Amino acid sequence: MRLLIAVLFVTLLGGAAAKAGDPDGFGMWKAADFQAHEKALDQKVRADHSARETLGDYSNHRIRMIHRVGTGAPEFHTNYVDLWVVESGHATLVVGGTLVDAKSSGGDGEMRGEMSGTGITGGERHEISAGDVIHIPAKTPHQALVPEGGEVTYLRIVIAAQ
């Protein structure tokens, strides 16, 4: 299943890790690449219970690997759609509803960390685990709740909203 998702992901978006003869903008990451990135990220977890690495940055989208070992702050993106491909672990995704105690975004429409508030009320809860693909529209509060002692790692494809 992971291989199928990885092939679909590479086919749809391309990537950064390419051979010299490949076209500009092409990239490909293999399952073993993700496992190595996850191990490295596990050593770089910050106070917000996460570590992240940008795998590819393009004109209309960015590919990041996110590794969470605990629940972080909710997020809200005015200008971006999130597409997640869960690589390993599990969490509860809260999506929709209203941000609690949110602060001004500073004009860019992005709310993360302290700006996004303390939680979400009225959102729907979905259990997520390896192999799941999740599309989160722009202007939608969302938060990954990671159980104590658990972790979740996912590819986050950040796509400019239309």
pLDDT at 23 over 50: yes
Which CATH number does the domain housing residue 135 bear?
2.60.120.10
Q: Is 0.75 topped by the overall pTM?
A: yes
Domain count, the chain: 1
d(CA 49, CA 125): 20
User: Could you tell me if 15 and 28 are in contact, meaning their C-beta atoms sit under 8 angstroms apart?
Assistant: yes
pLDDT at 13 over 90: no
3-state secondary structure of 40: helix
| Number of residues that this document lists for the chain | 162
Q: Tell me what the pLDDT averaged over the chain comes to.
A: 85
Domain that holds residue 10: 2-160
